[in-house]
Chain A
Amino acid sequence: MQLLQKIKYIKSIREGRQTRIDKDSLVINPLEIERHLKNRLKNLRQVKIKIIKQYEKKRVLRVFDVIEPRKKIVPKDSDYPGVISSVTNVGFGETILLKNIVVVITDKRKKDWKPILEHTEQFEEKSVYSKMNLICMEIYENNNVSTKDYYTDLYKAGLLLSTYICKADDFKSYDEEILLNIENRRNSKYRIGYFFQLCSSQYAGEKLGPVCYGRTPENFLPTIISPTMVIDGAITRNLTEEGFDTYHIQNNSIIYNLLTDNDIDFPGVVIAVSSLNHIEREKNAIIAANLLKTHLKVDGVIMTKAFGGASNLDLESLAEKLKKADVSSVPIIQITSMENKLSDSLIFKGDTFKHIVCSGWTHEKVHIPNDVDAIFAKGNTMMEIEYSMEIEYIKGIIDNLGSNHLSVVEG
């Protein structure tokens, strides 16, 4: 299976009569986009779009998701299958990627204004989004649209917008091509797999949404999936703003690094959701361990999770099974407690994980200036903004999937 990613770097963004790519600029017509989205989503009454140019000083409130613009060109009409396209296979063929630009969806129903995206010089080194061009979108729906339908439309609108602006016909050339191939590594020195726990609120609540080819996490069993499928639209992020952004799934740092390391044979990813109870945890761990050891035949596994203490227990349970099968495992975790000793911050048993990578402490507070204009602000929202905020509420700083450069030390 081969996936060719054709990359275009967008240097600037502006509004114009027609949405298109003009050399290295993206031109958008908000009314044209609104028409397109309303044609696809019957509940939409209005779409508000605002652009934030690179190096423009702005703040985005109530961020629901961040998406990198991508569009499948081979096979056609296969973007985010099961969510905005009919269910079809992805992970192969050709996909257009726009870099240096992201679609930011905001959630107007959210009561508080977190999380935020800081598009300021202060955050250029901290957040992956702070130096990019942004297309920000807020949707307004018809009366009596349920919470569940609103969030479903909100997510779909973001995906539809992110594919629409790629408009493949306008491309004359690409800045870069990446060929991702998972088949030619049989004689590599290491055989390493990836266990990817998806965003997985599992109860039939308002934010239960698609995670894999459009299906929701309920009763989801661990399964094998191609690494290229994960980054090519098969995996989506549920409807919660927690966990990771769609951008991070699209740019899954572990997958890209495993696929491009010539010493590594990377036969596949096992995806799963967080377990609701001990019995499910045991069952899921047994299945996942079997898939990794017996079917993917890996010697080592990297594990990531979305959030939550229970998901730590999931990783630990799987690691125990893998250890018995003589498979080494390393989890990437984040510290979400306030403790001052790292060893007290996790609920892992010491004899399971001897080797852990830590990608950040979410409670680090950073200064948030009050002299930054916020888009889509309501009333006096700006006055409510605290002067220091924990980085877990600032988009693009911590990536549960391993792209950020943070680690945690005891000071």
Chain B
Amino acid sequence: MRTHRIIHYINQFFGQIGGEKSAYQEPIYKEGPVGPGSFLDKAIKNGKIIGTIICGDNYAVEHSDKLKAFANDIISQKKPDIFIAGPGFFSGRYGLACGSLCSFVKEQFDIYCITGLYEDNPAVDLYREHIDIIKTKANAAGMKDAIEKFAHIFSVYGVSSGENIRQYFFPKGLLENESCDKPASLRSIDMVKALLDGMDPPTEIHLPDRVAPEKAVLGKELCDCKIALITDGGLVPSGNPDQLKTRATTKFLKYGIQNIDTLKKGDWQVMHEGYDNRYVLEDPNRLVPLDALRFFEKEKKIKQIYDDLITTTGVATSFAVSQKIGQEIGTLLVKNGVDAVILTST
């Protein structure tokens, strides 16, 4: 029974108006399905596309407010309970329009909104936290597959919890524990058995291939270098004024050391739950060798110590956070003319 009323959004190309020359097409509305909407309409057994909004890609991006106002009028009049945009595949402008419109319609009308995009489409990261986005191939060759996914999703829409369709969607940005039929031990045994049978069983975590960063080359003599001190050992001034966490931190902190020759016991504490820090508390220079570096500075073995100690906590820090913190620190150091770093890790 075709109970759901669907409004579909597509661009000028799929709306059969024209290609790039028609990219400034203003939004128009047509009753019923258009272009790929016809296939979608047939595939969705429990819903009907009652109308289609079509807009040129350039217009949609450059005049997004006008497109939203147009969509607002249409949806107010037609009162759909589902809004589908695209799929926009790898098209940047079309993808942004799909994500932006879905997000707008969901917020304004609180109806179910969904689009489909290729994983590298920039709209995925912009909108995946707000709306449902199914994973598609890069171009229209993936239209049939996308339509089948939409149809499957709507076949269980409002009926089941949708566990079996979760795989279709880009994650929205939160980790969740879920309960499995089997304990982890049995799942691991099944996985090893499958591997020994020559199969490639699905992994529970897929890891990308990591590219090792290039090693920096020091292009000048040490005596001409400004050196920074960095630690991931969680050294902070006593009292932990900036509330550095003892684990899973997402930030780094900097503390002025320009007028300090040595890190005195009692002035510093450790916010790090991953190592025996008694020796550091006894003498913080053993974690951050400021005393030794000052000696070399006075001896003119190095030109200068960078004014700030940079500190963070390296416990349960994910790859992504480490990368982000590293890039931020790197930018800061380059901006301040630092030539080299002594980075102590625990």
Contact = CB atoms under 8 A, between A and B. Distances in A.
A253 B183 contact: yes
A346 B206 CA distance: 10
Contacts of A360: 177
Contact of B204 (A253, A308, A328, A358): A358
Given A253-B183, A300-B195, A332-B184, A339 B175 contact: yes
A346 to B, nearest CB: 6
Q: Which 9 pairs across A and B sit closest by C-beta, in order of nearness? A: A410-B171, A402-B185, A344-B320, A359-B184, A253-B185, A337-B318, A300-B192, A350-B207, A350-B209
B183 A402 contact: yes
Contact of B174 (A205, A328, A340): A340
A205 B281 CA distance: 14
B177 A349 contact: no
Contacts of A333: 205
B299 interface: no
B182 A355 contact: no
B241 interface: no
A405 to B, nearest CB: 5
Given A190-B193, A345-B318, A403-B184, A355 B178 contact: no
Contact of B185 (A190, A264, A338, A403): A403
B286 to A, nearest CB: 14
B166 A409 contact: yes
B329 to A, nearest CB: 18
A340 B192 contact: no
Given A254-B185, A337-B317, A357 B173 contact: no
A336 B203 CA distance: 18
B1 interface: no
Interface string A381-407: 000000000010000000101111111
Q: Which of B182, B185, B250 has the most chain A CB atoms closer than 10 A to its own CB? A: B185
B176 interface: yes
Contacts of A190: 192-193, 196
A356 B207 contact: yes
A411 B180 contact: no
A360 B185 CA distance: 13
Interface string B201-229: 10111111110000000000000000000
A301 B191 CA distance: 10
Given A205-B276, A253-B183, A302 B205 contact: no
A407 B204 contact: yes
Contacts of B209: 349-351
A343 B206 contact: yes
Interface stretch (A20-28, A53-61, A174-182, A255-263): A255-263
Contacts of A391: 177
Given A357-B188, A361-B176, 11 more contacts: A263-B193, A300-B192, A342-B205, A344-B320, A346-B319, A348-B207, A361-B175, A364-B177, A402-B185, A409-B166, A410-B175
Nearest to B323: A344
A309 B315 contact: yes
B184 A340 contact: no
B141 interface: no
18 contacts: A201-B276, A264-B189, A300-B195, A309-B314, A328-B196, A336-B247, A336-B248, A338-B321, A339-B321, A342-B205, A345-B205, A346-B319, A349-B207, A349-B210, A354-B203, A357-B204, A361-B177, A411-B174
Q: Which of B191, B248, B322 has the most chain A CB atoms closer than 10 A to its own CB? A: B191
Nearest to B322: A347
A341 B200 CA distance: 22
Contacts of B247: 336
Q: Which of B174, B182, B205, B276 has the most chain A CB atoms closer than 10 A to its own CB? A: B205
Q: Which of A258, A299, A329, A359 has the most chain B CB atoms closer than 10 A to its own CB? A: A359
Contacts of A291: none
B186 A257 contact: yes
A338 B209 CA distance: 21
Given A411-B171, A411-B173, A350 B185 contact: no
Interface in A291-316: 299-302, 308-310
B337 interface: no
Contact of B188 (A254, A256, A344): A254
Nearest to B166: A409
B17 interface: no
B31 interface: no
Interface string B308-345: 00000011111111100000000000000000000000
Contacts of A348: 207
Nearest to A353: B207
B274 interface: yes
B177 A302 contact: no
Interface in B155-198: 166, 171-189, 191-193, 195-196
Contacts of B276: 201, 203, 205
Contacts of B180: 405-407
A330 B195 contact: yes
Contact of A356 (B204, B317, B318): B204
B250 A338 contact: yes
Given A302-B189, A342-B175, A406-B177, A350 B316 contact: no
Q: Which of B175, B186, B210, B250 has the most chain A CB atoms closer than 10 A to its own CB? A: B175
Nearest to A339: B318
Contacts of A309: 274, 314-317
A87 interface: no
Interface in A236-291: 253-254, 256-258, 261, 263-264
Contact of A408 (B172, B204, B207, B319): B204
B27 to A, nearest CB: 33
Given A330-B191, A407-B180, A409-B166, A343 B205 contact: yes
Contact of B201 (A353, A355, A359): A355
Given A203-B276, A402-B183, A402-B184, A301 B204 contact: no
A254 B191 CA distance: 13
Given A261-B189, A300-B195, A342 B206 contact: yes
A401 B182 CA distance: 14
A37 interface: no
